[in-house]
Structure 1
Amino acid sequence: MVYRLIGDAAMLFHFAFILYIAVGGFIAWRWPRTFWIHLGVALYGLAISIVGWTCPLTHVENWGRENAGQAGLAEEGFIDHYLTGVIYPADDLRLVQTGVGVVVVLSWIVLAVLTRRRARAESTTAT
């Protein structure tokens, strides 16, 4: 039972991690200091996509599932198992990755504009 919980927790954390890659820039609009966390997470996600590394969370999920007597993820990994062909067509993986990248960069651009406006507003009220 514990191993299954480990596998399930790794899966949920993996979903949350991928969701944070996509929307973390928008969260930084409200809490600007979280930008630096999001930058690290986004760069890590980009590196995994480009280099083709296997995310450590995939290893944890496989370990938990296999020790619980369940099948682990396929060699392709988490995204291919849970998202590709389920959430979007398998042929559109690069398009989806590019779209997420564009959304992240746009959220950062808006964050820069908001940060500049806040700094101006603070400097005018301070004088």
Structure 2
Amino acid sequence: MIWRLAADAVLVLHLLFIAFAVLGGLLILWRRGFVWLHVPALIWATLVMLNGWLCPLTPLEIELRQWAGEAGYRGSFIAHYLLPLIYPPGLTRTVQIALGVGVVLINLAIYGWLIRRRKATGS
């Protein structure tokens, strides 16, 4: 039971990291210091996607699921609703590269907007 909960926690952490990498630039509106956390996360996520690397959270989660005696992702709420977001069906290398480029473009737009906003307000 503990290994399954640990695997589910890693899965949720993985999803939160992805959300932070994609949209974390918006947190800078709240606290400018988030830029020092977000930029490295953005760079890492982009490198993983563009190079086809395996995020270290993925094998960790799989290992924990195997320790829990699970062969795959079935049965739990988290596995049913969150796994398709993190591991979408039909994820090809081309789609992976497009997602990496998309993450960069989204964040360029966010940072561009933040910079223009800051210059307009003079802060």
Q: TM-score range by the shorter chain?
A: 0.7 to 0.9
Q: Give 1:81 shift.
A: 7.9
Q: Is the 8 A contact 2:46 2:101 kept in 1?
A: no
Between the two proteins, the alignment pairs up a number of residues equal to 112
C-alpha RMSD over aligned residues: 2.5
Distance 2:85 2:19 in 1: 16
Q: Which runs of 5+ in 1 are unaligned?
A: 74-78, 122-127
Report 1:13-52 matches (<5 A): 13-52=13-52
Show the counterpart of 2:108: 105
Q: 2:33 & 2:86 partners in 1: Cα distance? A: 31
Runs of 4+ with deviation above 6 angstroms: none
SS of 2:88's partner is: coil
**Which protein is bigger by CA-based radius of gyration?**
1
Q: What is the alpha-carbon distance in structure 2 between the residues aligned to residue 96 and residue 54 of structure 1? A: 15
In the other structure, the counterpart of 1:84 is 88
TM-score under structure 2 length normalisation: 0.76
Structure 2, gaps ≥5 residues long: 74-82
**Cα distance change of structure 1 residues 12 and 100 upon mapping to structure 2, 3 Å threshold:** same
